[in-house]
Amino acid sequence: MNVVIRSLEIRDYEALVKLFKELGYPSSYKAIQERFKLLGEQPSYHSLVAEDEGKVIGFAGICKMYQFERDGSYARILAFVVDSNFRKRGIGTLLLQSVEEWARRNDCHSIALNSGNREERTAAHSFYEANGYVVRSSGFSKSLD
């Protein structure tokens, strides 16, 4: 394996269809195309991919955010997935380290993320904890549709 972490490019959208489905958020190519056009216009958002021999096998979507309760900014990982055929090979750790490097370069003092409480997310929780992340709070959401 020769994994390279780089910024997302338009040519990567097709790979995101598979990755987002694995993440639990099925999306069509057209929806991804439209979504990433909008995200690309937002200067605080950034997307990284893990690529091995020309194949995109991982994705991280991040955003620089500011805090109300203290000074400074932090990065929030909004989406993170490694192709199920390539897990447990260190790719997720490489991708996470690249997210952390991006956050440091962008003057972020911490990183936050949410991960669902479903049973199938147990391995993801262990992965984050093994990489130094700690559980701090519960997340809540409400659909307005």
CA dihedral 75, 97, 13, 16 (to 10 degrees): -90
Strand-by-strand arrangement of the 108-113 sheet? 3-7, 45-52, 55-66, 73-82, 108-113
Looking at the structure of the chain, the number of domains it has is 1
- How far apart (Å, rounded) are the C-alpha atoms in residues 133 and 145? 32
50 in Cβ contact with 87 (< 8 Å)? no
How many residues does the structure list for the chain? 145
Instruction: For residue 21, give its domain range.
Output: 3-130
User: Is residue 97 situated within a structural domain?
Assistant: yes
Domain of 9, CATH number, reads 3.40.630.30
- How far apart (Å, rounded) are the C-alpha atoms in residues 47 and 62? 6
User: Is residue 136 situated within a structural domain?
Assistant: no
User: What backbone phi and psi angles, to 5 degrees, belong to 79?
Assistant: -155, 140
User: Is residue 88 situated within a structural domain?
Assistant: yes
User: Is residue 14 situated within a structural domain?
Assistant: yes
Rg (CA), the chain: 15
The series of mean pLDDT values per 10 residues for the chain, 145 residues long, is: 95 97 94 96 97 96 94 95 94 96 96 80 84 82 83
User: Is residue 142 situated within a structural domain?
Assistant: no
Q: What is the pLDDT of residue 102?
A: 97
Q: What is the pLDDT of residue 140?
A: 79
User: Is residue 58 situated within a structural domain?
Assistant: yes
Q: What is the pLDDT of residue 121?
A: 76
Q: Using H for helix, E for strand and C for coil, what is the string for 52-70?
A: ECCEEEEEEEEEEEECCCC
User: Is residue 72 situated within a structural domain?
Assistant: yes
User: Is residue 143 situated within a structural domain?
Assistant: no
